[in-house]
Amino acid sequence: MTTQFDNVSVIKQANVYFDGKCVSHTVLFPDGSKKTIGVIFPSTLKFNTGAAEIMELNAGKCRIKLAGASDWQTYEGGQKFDVPANSSFDIETIEMLDYVCYYL
Amino acid sequence: MTTQFDNVSVIKQANVYFDGKCVSHTVLFPDGSKKTIGVIFPSTLKFNTGAAEIMELNAGKCRIKLAGASDWQTYEGGQKFDVPANSSFDIETIEMLDYVCYYL
């Protein structure tokens, strides 16, 4: 896992959600794709997806329950999880997450 | 003021200071310079500088007192302020700041 993205554009203004529990910046790639890089502070939140997403965790620890799932799964730094398009997931952040979100 | 930086590298992992009151990401430029883009949530903090800085505010409102100054100055989105090298400033953030920090 590389530590940086090269040859990209970055939007200066942050995305701040859930009263500051989630802060991210948007990165634009030459192929027209985008990712967000950000943090989620300890909290229990529900995220809705438009595009399908891959959440890649650089650091932290959380429990995830995808829409329709009955079980919570635990993920930590170095792991990732997939979220379907037009769906949602519940996330309990136990230790602050540092993440990269890929939009597919 | 442009809304994005082009042809840059961005460090994936966030910089989180003051128990999450300040969250930023580091942007690296082709000329070897760097900037950070971030937010400061309402709080009263003291920042120390190494290099001299320009703080450019995209949004928000704060009061600043530079080291050695007797007066507080108010700055809002669309304004910027300079901080000398090897110095410090007190910052009271009244409305969440969205900023770009230039290191000189």
**How high is the ipTM of this complex?**
0.94
Tens digit of pLDDT for each residue in B65-74? Answer: 999 999 999 9
Domain presence at residue B3: no
Count of domains in chain B? 1
Domain presence at residue A76: yes
Q: CATH no. for residue B39?
A: 2.60.120.10
Domain presence at residue A82: yes
Question: Which of B4, B5, B23 is nearest residue A23 as measured by Cβ atoms?
Answer: B23
- Name the stretches of chain B with pLDDT < 70: 1
Q: Do B7 and A7 touch (CB under 8 A)?
A: yes
Q: Does B80 touch chain A (CB under 8 A)?
A: no
Q: Which domain holds residue A94?
A: 9-103
Domain presence at residue B49: yes
pLDDT at A2: 86
Cβ partners under 8 Å of residue A57, min gap 6:
A75, A76, A77, A78, A79, A80, A97, A98, A99
Domain presence at residue A2: no
pLDDT at B1: 64
Q: Nearest residue of A to residue B41 by CA position? A: A20
- Name the stretches of chain A with pLDDT < 70: 1
Domain presence at residue A69: yes
* Interface with A, mutate which of B12, B25, B58, B96 (most A CBs under 10 A): B12
Q: Nearest residue of A to residue B20 by CA position? A: A41
pLDDT at B2: 86
Dihedral sign for Cα atoms in the order B50, B84, B24, A10: negative
pLDDT at A94: 98
Question: Which of B20, B27, B98 is nearest residue A14 as measured by Cβ atoms?
Answer: B98
Tens digit of pLDDT for each residue in A77-99? Answer: 999 999 999 999 999 999 999 99
Domain presence at residue B76: yes
pLDDT at A1: 64
Domain presence at residue B22: yes
Do residues B99 and B53 touch, judged by C-beta distance below 8 A?
A: no
For chain A, how many helices (H) and strands (E)?
0, 9
Alpha-carbon span A64 to A87, nearest angstrom: 13
Q: Do B98 and A13 touch (CB under 8 A)?
A: yes
Q: Do B41 and A20 touch (CB under 8 A)?
A: yes
Which two tokens mark A55? 């959440």
